[in-house]
């Protein structure tokens, strides 16, 4: 059975989800792809057409993985920035509360 069409469909879906930065879709696709590849490994060897399509899929997966990795890094930096400013925000909130309490009295 030629699995090229299935593999190519996965590649297209990965490219689309990565292009839209649809993290939830990428997660679902990654899980589905893992199951599909497990089934392929049970079936045995791939013919030349399937191997070529699998290379296309690997490239699409690598691009999606890199995009996810870049986003993870960006979010880590953003969370680090938020954490580094937390003390100032707390001080501002406390001062603001004290000011409001003083005006209400």
Residue showing tokens 């707390």: 90
Read off the pLDDT of residues 32-66 as tens digits, 9 standing for 90 and up.
999 999 998 888 888 999 999 999 999 999 999 99
For residues 74 and 99, what is the distance between their CA atoms, to the nearest angstrom?
36
pLDDT tens track for 74-99: 999 999 988 888 887 777 878 877 77
pTM above 0.85, yes or no: no
Element (H, E) at 21: none
| 104 has pLDDT over 60 | no
């Amino acid at each position: 059975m030629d699995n090229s069409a299935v593999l190519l469909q996965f590649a297209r879906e990965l490219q689309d989800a990565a292009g839209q930065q649809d993290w939830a879709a990428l997660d679902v696709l990654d899980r589905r792809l893992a199951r599909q590849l497990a089934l392929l490994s049970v079936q045995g060897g791939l013919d030349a057409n399937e191997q070529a399509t699998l290379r296309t899929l690997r490239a699409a997966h690598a691009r999606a993985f890199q995009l996810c990795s870049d986003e993870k890094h960006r979010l880590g930096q953003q969370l680090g920035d938020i954490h580094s400013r937390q003390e100032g925000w707390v001080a501002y909130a406390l001062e603001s509360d004290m000011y409001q309490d003083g005006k209400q009295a």
